[in-house]
Structure 1
Amino acid sequence: MEHSIQQIARAAGTTSRTLRHYDRIGLVRPSRVGVNGYRYYDDRALVRLQRVLLLRELGLGLEAIGEVLRAQDAQARGGEPPAVAEARILGAHLELLRRERARVDAQIGSVERTIAALDRAGRAAPGEDHAEENLMSENMFDGFDHTRYREEVERRWGADAYARSDRWWRGLGEQGRAEWRARMERLGRDWIAAAGSGADPESAEGQDLARRHVEWLRGVPGTPASEAGGDLAGYVLGLAEMYAADDRFAANYGGAEGARFVRDALRVYVERELRG
């Protein structure tokens, strides 16, 4: 049974334009294209689209989704019937979704407990024991796991890089982590403001932000930016491209346009200061 691209777009809550883009980059091919140029999708194409949408919900960018699908397709060519392979692959996705649900449930619980504690403190009479209730309980930060991208970090830069960065992060302590986050957030806000003002990536403003960004990267152990003799220029250029290509990172800079501004400014900085 086949369905038109308009039917699939409505059912999946997406657009025909998005589906055509998925076709162009090889994520979801239509089962056939009619003589009128219309795309039609069979059940196998629908299953693949579901896989793509699941991975998007898990936070992966389109490039990363393509890598996952290619790896899974290679495994599925080992002799299994297509339906059996697809069921097995979706089973793995289902497990990821269950983990994500557990993480979100833990976050909801921690925030609910914090709200309840703040509410009790707000209603307490002066002098009552719980008027200044300590919010820093063991489960206040349940679900907020900085290790959730461990596999991706290890795949990109190696297990040793992750281990060293993890030791550094845990060793910062509560105040150090808060200061590091604040520095990152200030940098992100300044990037967004510069991009929104129409600044030129080659301008003094753009290049000062690029300098601050590279200094920030140098402060994270376990990466080429922090190691003597490491390929700092290549590392910065690789990250710059990732910011623009991956929606998760682009969101830190106000979206795709802001991320492209960051990428272009870093490219100029690398050529002028790191390779010039």
Structure 2
Amino acid sequence: MRYSISQVATISGVSARTLRHYDEIGLLAPQEVSANGYRWYGRSQLRVLQRILLLRDLDVSLPQIKAILAGEDDEAAALRRHLRLVTAERDRLDAIAGTIRRTLDDLEGRRSLPDGEFFRGLQERRAQLAATLRKRFGTAVDTALPAHDPWPSSWTRDDYHEAESEARDLYSQLSRARRADLDPTSSAALDIVAAHYEAVRATWPASPEAYHALADLIESDPAQRVVVGGDDPDLPAWLAAGVRAYAVRRLGHRP
């Protein structure tokens, strides 16, 4: 069965204008274009559109989606990867919702929230990142992970907010460089990426090899994409390119 562009727009909730744009940028071509210029889509195009929309829901940029789809030959494997991304994002949002509920209980007087409890969400995110690193790079990564908690138990909420503010400022600086069309592999960009490297080293003594590998997580791990690209969805890909270049040119890593 084939579907007109208006029918696809109706069943998918995507405008015909967006579908035409996807065709123009080589992201989703119709099955055929009739002599009068009408676009027609088949079932396989609907499945591709579903994957595009799943990735857009995860704030993946169109250029990244195009690269992902170009490298996918096994449709079932691609959907399994999407399922893992969606499941990880659901778990991350559940954890954030739990932290918000506990904080609201504290603010509204239903339950006092000790400072140690306030940091639980942060500790859970660090544990999740460590688990992801081990899954990607094996138990050898344990030697690179800090043996102690880099956030001292004496920290107050103000200390945490200050660190969080510094991280936001760093990503804002990186985002401004990206929006200015600065090549992420240029010397000027690597001078900015150096601040990211130092921030990573403050809590994780990453080797040049590990820092280079971190670029993959920045691009593909849902939690890392949200941290890096919360205000700029195109920043993860830009920063990942900069991280790889920094590891090679400034740290001497040889892929």
Bin for the TM-score computed over the shorter chain: 0.5 to 0.7
Q: Helix, strand or coil: the match of 2:108?
A: helix
TM-score, normalised to structure 1's length?
A: 0.55
Q: Helix, strand or coil: the match of 1:13?
A: coil
Quick check: 1:4–1:41 contact (8 Å CA) kept in 2? yes
**1:185-226 CA-partner distances (Å, limit 9, x unpaired):** 33223334556678898999756424333434555657442x
Aligned CA distance change for structure 1 residues 93 and 135 (closer, same or farther; 3 Å): same
Aligned CA distance change for structure 1 residues 146 and 265 (closer, same or farther; 3 Å): closer
Identity %: 22
How far apart, CA to CA, are the structure 1 residues paired with 2:57 and 2:143?
Answer: 29
Residues 179-198 of structure 1 correspond to what in structure 2 (within 5 A)? 181=164, 183-193=166-176
Question: Which residue pairs with 1:16 in the alignment?
Answer: 19
Match 2:149 to one of 166, 171, 176:
171
Q: Helix, strand or coil: the match of 2:146?
A: helix
* 1:66 and 2:69 matched: yes
Question: Which residue pairs with 2:93 in the alignment?
Answer: 104
Q: With CA pairs under 8 Å and 6+ residues apart, which has the higher RCO, 1 or 2?
A: 2
* 1:116 and 2:105 matched: yes
How far apart, CA to CA, are the structure 2 residues paired with 1:59 and 1:99?
Answer: 14
Aligned CA distance change for structure 1 residues 170 and 21 (closer, same or farther; 3 Å): farther
Match 2:196 to one of 199, 202, 213:
213
Count residues with an aligned counterpart: 236
Q: Helix, strand or coil: the match of 1:70?
A: coil
Aligned CA distance change for structure 1 residues 153 and 112 (closer, same or farther; 3 Å): same
Return the offset for 1:115: 0.9
TM-score, normalised to structure 2's length?
A: 0.58
Q: Which protein is bigger by CA-based radius of gyration?
A: 1
Aligned CA distance change for structure 1 residues 40 and 169 (closer, same or farther; 3 Å): farther
Quick check: 2:178–2:238 contact (8 Å CA) kept in 1? no
Quick check: 1:31–1:40 contact (8 Å CA) kept in 2? yes
How far apart, CA to CA, are the structure 2 residues paired with 1:17 and 1:42?
Answer: 15
Gaps of 5+ in 2: none
How far apart, CA to CA, are the structure 1 residues paired with 2:190 and 2:242?
Answer: 10
How far apart, CA to CA, are the structure 2 residues paired with 1:96 and 1:5?
Answer: 29
- Over the residues paired in the alignment, what is the CA RMSD in angstroms? 5.3
